[in-house]
Structure 1
Amino acid sequence: MKHRIRKHQFVWNISMARFRKNALRSNSLVHKESLKHHFQDYCASTSIHGVKYLGDPSRPSSERIWWVTMLACCMIGNGYLISKVWIKWHDSPVIVSFAETAMPIWEVPFPAITFCSEIKSRVDVFNFTDAILKYQNGSIAQSDEEMKRMGDLTLLCDKHVLVENGQKVTDNSTLEFLDEMIPEVDDTTIVCQFADSTPTNCSEYFSRIFTDEGVCYSFNMLAAPELFRGYGNPMFLDHGLASSWSLEAGYDRDAPLQTTYPRRVISAGASTSFNLVVKYRVRDTDFHCRGPVQGFKILLHNPGEFPLVTERHLRIPLSQEIIAMVQPKVMTTSDGLRPYSPQIRQCFFPSERYLAHFRIYTQRNCEVECLTNFTLARCGCVNLYMPRNETTPLCGAGSKQCMVDAENELKLVEIEAARNADVNSKCNCLQACQSINFDAETSQADYDTIKTLLSYGDNLTELAGHEGARVRIFFKDMQFSTSRRSELFGLVDFLANCGGLLGLFCGISILSFCEIVYYITLRFWANLHLIKKKHESMDIDDGVDNTITVYPQPQPQSIIEELKEC
């Protein structure tokens, strides 16, 4: 009986081993034949050039090696050229070109005009030259008030004019003193006229503003609440005119042409010019403070931009008439560049760059704020003209050299950052994506203020000891060409170039990639299923019995009955 049980178990084990061996051999053959059939099927059907020769079993090995070499060379060359296209798309996707249509001058504001006198103090109130000479000679003792006034005025003098042991930090009394020293706008100007309006006093047009040149006067600038955040520049006393213009959107469509603010003109030429006649009290010239140059400085700038007159200005010499023919320079940016980073397109949209002191982002406003922050970090205070909070300390005469050094240091840091990608920029003041600047062509001629006013029968008593000058500013042309920053190489161009290269080298298209995905997924499983069915049908047709006889295991009850019979 035990012999019969062992026989059953032996037959069972042999049957299972034979089943596993046959199953593994069958699956291996099926997979191998399926992959081969699948590859031949793809080569015969694909649209990629040259691949069909690799799967043709009738082709000799030499031809297959040739086509493998050719396909490899094409793929390598194709990959190299596509990498060049990628670099071009990634590194230089922006182009600056002229816009398709010209822009009329009534769509842009008339330039803001800021003019500053070279006179920084009236000798009747405080004679700076006498005070500085007494200080340098040490012959006469000076009071603390005289020392403070002298130190305060050095803040408006040339950079080399310094006072030792001056106050490091000052307060608003310095601003009040310097404001008292400068002549009022009506004491500096004779008459103003804009476009075809009647000549009038310049106080109706100009606002007082404290700049890097001290107290100056600005025309056509935005109101202080629209330019500054919070405290801003407390010396900016504007007329409070609400604007209907923004740097990004321009003027409102329904805004009237002649009563908008900032002001604009409807035509070019001298008939719509801004005329300014100024007077200069010669005896107030302080050659120690400002050097030998007399007259005025004038700056044409964006109405939403804080004026830095010292760095870029036009000179108004005495007894001369200056004619400035203005040409606007407008830069716009297409909305297609918004997805790109500011570093790639090299400009900021208004919502991308926040300024703590200015509501309007321009490159100049950003530079002023950056210099303010840098000076505060280096010197513990800021210059008088810089925007600030109510708690920010003001630098006194003792910090003047520190402010000059901080400005020079910041310039070097920014240059080093531009030259070396590893150095971070302190300012990050890129251009505004929508910007407007004004270039001017100037000419001049002799101008005799006294004889001109005598011809009109005016009283010249107020002009005794004065010299005059006249400025006339107008647009040069009725229309001007604008520049536009747009995509040089966008996503569509990148795909088109890649598609052209793939088609040229390999005959590949989007459908070719879809075909590859199809053969890897759906077609592969379909072919595998067909091969399995084919093998099953071939085994049945050959009459081979691949079934495995499984003998049932003897049950304990049957074994007991057999033992009883024995």
Structure 2
Amino acid sequence: MLTKLHLQDYSEKISIHGLRYVLKKGAKQWEKILWMTILTVAGICILNKFYQSWQLYNHSLIQIIIEDPLFPLKEIDFPAITVCMNSNAMYSKVKTLTEIYSNESNSKKYFENSIKAISIMRFPHFNALAPLVRSLKMEKIPPEEIRDIMLYLGPTIDDMLVKCFWRGIKYNCSDLFRRQRSEIGFCYSFNSKTADRNSNYSDRNPPLTGEDDQLIPLRTNSAGRMSGLELILRNMEYENFPGKDAMTGYNVMVHNPGEFPDETMSYKAHLDINRVSQISVSVAKVSADQSLYWINQKDRKCTMKKSSSYLISDDLSREGNPESFCLKKCRLDVIYKFCKCIPYYSITYEDLSETCGVEHLNCLNLINVRLRNFPPPIEESGFPDWSLPEYMNCSCPTPCSFISYTSENRKITTFNEFNIRNFSLESNHIYLDIHYKKPYVISFRRSLKYSAEELIVAFGGMASLFLGCSIMTILEVIYYTYKLLIELKKVNTIVDVTPN
């Protein structure tokens, strides 16, 4: 009786629509059944819609939308520009070192052959080492000396660069470039956070050092020709090893300042009389919404924060994007696993393993295909077993937030602007103009298609539409349930103390 009275009192005061008619005193039976049926149907509809919303929340997951098609350039770091001499070793320096190394002619030649092989020891061209192994006699170089030898034989900034301009103003090239390690050897980079910062460079060398030792790359708010970085490189074909297989010209890589350069995305710069090269850069900015923290990394298929799981040498960079190091480290892991050595330009393991020398050339050649490939996706069409090569057993997740630099190279006939700007191109000069293609950036945002807030709103809307429920309704249910339990406890207590 007490419970019925309590429920009647509850039904008259609670905000759930229709419940009062189910428990109304004096209501006819058919009225109670009708309203009970209506409440049941409404409850089922709410649960069904909530389940659909939950499925959408769990499985619809990620969307990428255009946030701002005219995002300002001033808020984006200018890309890092890495320039590498293709041969990695100046032949004049090789001859000088050969004379110091030995007085015996055969020994000199074998030593020179070894230097030639080591100078083209690079990814993804380890397969080019096979012909050298078969055709040339080489002399083993002590592993602990290889890195220092290659540093000595490589060109200096002044050897490579004649003039450098940033935003139309001429600067000493040594004020703009630092030595950079890459998978093709020792190079020089402009605006790179991963470049060497231990040498005695100018205070102007970008990136600049800000508060808390934070590295700040240079930026520009202009686009179009001669608005970014201009370089005049010296043609150094005379410094190449003799022979038809000599590697000539330069590799030029445009990359994110926080990442190591990628040789597979490089441009080749060669001497081309009466023509100059222009590299125009387009930028896309992708930001991750905080709502992505609600789902795990497997579902969002990207990583939200920097990972510290990659070993990076402190002398290379104090700041950068660890995800970008994953691929480099993965290849080094494979090289070390199969060949028990690490190339002289390595970014990790520098003091932990033997440097690859001529005795490792054949091994590097054998794993060349493996170093190019990743594990195939599981249960995906288009990957039959016969088409699968050897691959590295690793995966590198992409970051949820990143800035992508897309570049294109074209050669044009030279005009008179060089004379107007008080310099002219000589017959052995290579001119590069790297600039933004457009005066704006396209900004994207990656977020959940259906956020937790939207899930709550959807459920609240359905409950309010069908039953008039709200947060206050839930609190009322809790309150009246508590009151009912208290009343029941009092009744049971009275019954227990009543004498038989």
**TM-score band (shorter)?**
0.7 to 0.9
**Does the 8 Å contact 1:167/1:397 carry over to 2?**
yes
Q: Please report the RMSD computed on the Cα atoms of aligned residues, expressed in angstroms.
A: 4.6
CA 1:523–1:168: 2 relative to 1, 3 Å? farther
Q: Report Cα offsets for 1:430-487 as digits up to 9, x if no partner.
A: 3163x333223443213599xx89x989997xx6xxx442111222344333233445
**Does the 8 Å contact 1:190/1:278 carry over to 2?**
yes
Deviation, 1:312, is 0.6
**Does the 8 Å contact 2:161/2:233 carry over to 1?**
yes
Partner residue in 1 for 2:67: 99
Deviation, 1:335, is 5.0
Q: Report Cα offsets for 1:321-369 as digits up to 9, x if no partner.
A: 1222323333334556556655555554555545320542243223223
Aligned-partner SS, 2:432: strand
Partner residue in 2 for 1:387: 347
Partner residue in 1 for 2:103: none
**Does the 8 Å contact 2:194/2:260 carry over to 1?**
no
Deviation, 1:265, is 3.1
Match of 1:445 among 409, 412, 416: 412
Partner residue in 2 for 1:80: 48
**Does the 8 Å contact 2:207/2:218 carry over to 1?**
no
Larger mean CA deviation between 317-326 and 276-285 belongs to: 276-285
- Residue correspondences, number: 459
Partner residue in 2 for 1:474: 435
Partner residue in 1 for 2:387: none
What is the TM-score when the length of structure 2 is the normalising length?
Answer: 0.73
1:505 is aligned to 2:466: yes
Partner residue in 1 for 2:168: 196
Partner residue in 1 for 2:231: 276
**Does the 8 Å contact 1:414/1:427 carry over to 2?**
yes
Partner residue in 2 for 1:325: 280
1:38 is aligned to 2:6: yes
Provide structure 1 residue ranges, at least 5 long, that are not aligned to the other structure.
1-32, 128-139, 227-233, 536-545, 549-566
Q: Report Cα offsets for 1:472-527 as digits up to 9, x if no partner.
A: 12223443332334455433222111101222333322222222222322145347
| Cα distance between partner residues in 2 of 1:79 and 1:408 | 54
Q: Report Cα offsets for 1:386-413 as digits up to 9, x if no partner.
A: 2123123223344456556667547654
Larger mean CA deviation between 80-89 and 41-50 belongs to: 41-50
Counterparts of 1:42-441 in structure 2, within 5 Å, are 42-56=10-24, 58=26, 64-91=32-59, 94-100=62-68, 102-122=70-90, 145=111, 148-156=114-122, 158-161=125-128, 162=130, 163=133, 171-198=143-170, 202-222=173-193, 224=195, 239=202, 262-282=217-237, 284=240, 289=245, 294-309=248-263, 311-319=264-272, 320-334=275-289, 337=292, 341-343=296-298, 346-348=301-303, 352-357=307-312, 359=318, 360-388=320-348, 389-400=350-361, 402-403=363-364, 408-409=369-370, 412-416=373-377, 426-431=394-399, 433=401, 435-441=402-408
| Cα distance between partner residues in 1 of 2:175 and 2:499 | 111
| Cα distance between partner residues in 1 of 2:407 and 2:454 | 39
| Cα distance between partner residues in 1 of 2:233 and 2:363 | 35
Aligned-partner SS, 2:169: coil
Deviation, 1:116, is 2.1
| Cα distance between partner residues in 1 of 2:457 and 2:425 | 77
**Amino acid of the residue matched to residue 118 of structure 2?**
D
**Amino acid of the residue matched to residue 316 of structure 1?**
A
Match of 1:521 among 475, 479, 482: 482
**Amino acid of the residue matched to residue 276 of structure 1?**
L
**Amino acid of the residue matched to residue 202 of structure 1?**
C
Deviation, 1:53, is 4.0
| Cα distance between partner residues in 2 of 1:210 and 1:352 | 21
Larger mean CA deviation between 160-169 and 66-75 belongs to: 160-169
Percent identity over the alignment? 20
CA 1:148–1:412: 2 relative to 1, 3 Å? closer
**Amino acid of the residue matched to residue 74 of structure 2?**
W
| Cα distance between partner residues in 2 of 1:410 and 1:70 | 66
**Does the 8 Å contact 1:353/1:361 carry over to 2?**
no
CA 1:41–1:398: 2 relative to 1, 3 Å? farther
| Cα distance between partner residues in 1 of 2:24 and 2:365 | 81
**Amino acid of the residue matched to residue 269 of structure 2?**
I
Deviation, 1:114, is 0.7
| Cα distance between partner residues in 2 of 1:167 and 1:116 | 26
Partner residue in 2 for 1:231: none
Q: Report Cα offsets for 1:43-68 as digits up to 9, x if no partner.
A: 45443334334334655655555554
**Does the 8 Å contact 1:361/1:432 carry over to 2?**
no
**Amino acid of the residue matched to residue 127 of structure 2?**
H
CA 1:400–1:515: 2 relative to 1, 3 Å? farther
Deviation, 1:530, is 8.3
CA 1:213–1:66: 2 relative to 1, 3 Å? same
| Cα distance between partner residues in 1 of 2:423 and 2:282 | 37
**Does the 8 Å contact 1:208/1:216 carry over to 2?**
yes
**Does the 8 Å contact 1:168/1:398 carry over to 2?**
yes
**Does the 8 Å contact 1:499/1:509 carry over to 2?**
yes
Aligned-partner SS, 2:260: coil
| Cα distance between partner residues in 1 of 2:10 and 2:65 | 48
